[in-house]
Amino acid sequence: MTATVSIASIEKSFGAARTLKGVSVDIAAGEFLTLVGPSGCGKSTLLRILAGLIPQDGGSIRIDGAPVDHLPPRARDVSMVFQSYALYPHMSVRENIATPLKVRRLSSAARWPLVGRMVPGQSAARAAIAESVNQVAAQVEIEALLDRRPAQLSGGQRQRVALARAMVRQPRVFLMDEPLSNLDARLRVHMRGELSELHRRLGATFIYVTHDQVEAMTMSSRVALMMDGEIIQVATPSDIYANPVDVRVARFIGSPEINLVDARADTNGQVSIAGKATGFRAETVGALTVGLRPEVLAIDDGSSEIVIDSRLQRIERLGHDVLLHMRHDAGGKKNMTLRVSAADLEKLQANGRLNENVAIGARAGSALLFGADGKRLPGLQGAAPTELMNFAMGRRAVGA
């Protein structure tokens, strides 16, 4: 059971505030699309509109080509999993999971606990519901918890119950609003893997909302980055990392954050950083920003094409990798982070350079350029091949 979802020009205002500014995105059947963006950008509002919980002011939603704008939530064939799980506290896990099916398959009289058993012709429906509940409970491994109440469960177990309740109707589309954010860090990492696996097994379309870029990057087929009521870029995780269309995307995706350095291109496009010519040309004139991911920077061994004088301030050991926190005076953000291997660190310490001036550098082909308006510019001319950048990106786990 799966479906395409087409979101076209969705508008929504709350009072004078325009929360969604004509949002459009087409989602393929079986895709795992994540809406990611900072708090307040409108992600949850869009998801609620998709679910039919609130009406949009303009634009249209189609599921498998058919407009659903006029349909109430129940008739849209979508299931939503909330951050709060929204379980019924007075019901057992079994009853919580069965509720969506009871609402759909049993007459209103038959839903009453005692009276219901006397309503003729409903026992087959009850047996089928019990069977469906057992099946989904097995899928998310909560069979042993079916007779407990939500208060008797851990956060992770509640999360599974909420998933099971969403799954039991076999919807074509799952909508998930920050479903992992109430879990501790370790469990969140575990559940990321489980959700990806569940998505693969079910083959349904998942639309997932999070403000956590690591969640977005690790689970999704594609990531839609939202800011201030607009989708700025929709791309695969590796593409949005390597080819951000906008400096805001470059900053939001990637951890540690991309380093941004002020630069200028003269009337011939010759680029200089901190007044020093780089020997490269950009297809622009005036102010620009050079973006350098932490892993494309290294201590300069004389071969770097872009060199920035910095001071090493702090060393943060992450195990295999090490982060070097530097300060520089080249303009832009004064702090710069390098991700190097532990072996590189050895070399650096041998030189006894902590708190001393260190030249750091990158290949010009690894730089991402952004114009004064924040939009991405073509790379530096005469730069090293972009394969170098792709190699550097591919070698590192995103957001690790």
Ligand X SMILES: Nc1ncnc2c1ncn2[C@@H]1O[C@H](COP(=O)(O)OP(=O)(O)OP(=O)(O)O)[C@@H](O)[C@H]1O
Dist. CA 66–CA 4, nearest whole Å: 10
Q: Does 43 bind ligand X (CB under 6 A)?
A: yes
How are strands ordered across the β-sheet holding 376-377? 276-281, 270-273, 259-265, 286-292, 368-371, 376-377
Beta bridge partner(s), residue 230 = 227
Q: Which stretch binds ligand X (CB under 6 A): 43-51, 69-77, 95-103, 271-279?
A: 43-51
Beta bridge partner(s), residue 81 = 176
Pick 36 or 106: Cβ nearer ligand X:
36
Beta carbons of 158 and 85 less than 8 angstroms apart: yes
Q: Which stretch binds ligand X (CB under 6 A): 42-50, 139-147, 231-239, 247-255?
A: 42-50
One symbol per residue from 198 to 227: x for binding ligand X (CB under 6 A), - otherwise; what is it? -------------x----------------
Q: Does 52 bind ligand X (CB under 6 A)?
A: no
Closest to 296 (Cα-Cα) out of 310, 306, 284, 286: 306
What is the three-class DSSP state of 263? strand
The single residue among 5, 7, 10, 45 that binds ligand X, judged by CB under 6 A, is 45
Query: Nearest approach, Cβ of 91 to ligand X (angstroms)?
Result: 27
Query: Nearest approach, Cβ of 206 to ligand X (angstroms)?
Result: 17
Query: Nearest approach, Cβ of 207 to ligand X (angstroms)?
Result: 13
The single residue among 30, 42, 52, 365 that binds ligand X, judged by CB under 6 A, is 42
Q: Which stretch binds ligand X (CB under 6 A): 39-47, 123-131, 238-246, 292-300?
A: 39-47
Q: Does 56 bind ligand X (CB under 6 A)?
A: no
Pick 210 or 278: Cβ nearer ligand X:
210
The single residue among 3, 10, 23, 41 that binds ligand X, judged by CB under 6 A, is 41
Pick 43 or 339: Cβ nearer ligand X:
43
Dist. CA 389–CA 375, nearest whole Å: 19
- What token pair was written down for 83? 């951050």
Q: What is the DSSP letter of 377?
A: E
Q: Does 310 bind ligand X (CB under 6 A)?
A: no
The single residue among 39, 267, 268, 303 that binds ligand X, judged by CB under 6 A, is 39
Number of H helices, E strands in the chain: 10, 21
Provide the residue count of the chain: 400
Query: Nearest approach, Cβ of 215 to ligand X (angstroms)?
Result: 12
Q: Does 82 bind ligand X (CB under 6 A)?
A: no
The single residue among 3, 5, 7, 19 that binds ligand X, judged by CB under 6 A, is 19
Beta carbons of 350 and 202 less than 8 angstroms apart: no
Q: How many of the chain's residues bind ligand X (CB under 6 A)?
A: 11
Axis crossing angle, helix 123-139 with helix 155-167, rounded to the nearest 10: 130
Query: Nearest approach, Cβ of 23 to ligand X (angstroms)?
Result: 11
- What token pair was written down for 191? 């559940």
Query: Nearest approach, Cβ of 277 to ligand X (angstroms)?
Result: 43
Q: Is the dihedral of CA 79, 83, 86, 87 positive or negative?
A: positive
Q: Does 303 bind ligand X (CB under 6 A)?
A: no
Phi, psi angle pair for 98, to nearest 5°: -75, -20
Q: Does 25 bind ligand X (CB under 6 A)?
A: no
Instruction: Give the residue carrying structure tokens 């489980």.
Output: 194
Q: Does 14 bind ligand X (CB under 6 A)?
A: yes
Residues between 114 and 133 that touch ligand X (CB under 6 A): none
Query: Nearest approach, Cβ of 335 to ligand X (angstroms)?
Result: 26
Q: Does 165 bind ligand X (CB under 6 A)?
A: no
Pick 180 or 282: Cβ nearer ligand X:
180
Region of 117 (left: φ > 0; alpha: ψ -120 to 50; beta: rest) is alpha
Pick 106 or 227: Cβ nearer ligand X:
227
Tell me how crowded residue 135 is: count the other CB atoms within 10 A of its CB. 12
Beta carbons of 52 and 4 less than 8 angstroms apart: no
Q: Does 176 bind ligand X (CB under 6 A)?
A: no
Closest to 133 (Cα-Cα) out of 84, 88, 167, 87: 167
C-alpha atoms less than 13 angstroms from C-alpha of 285 in its C-beta half-sphere: 3
Q: Which residues bind ligand X (CB under 6 A)?
A: 14, 19, 37, 39-45, 211
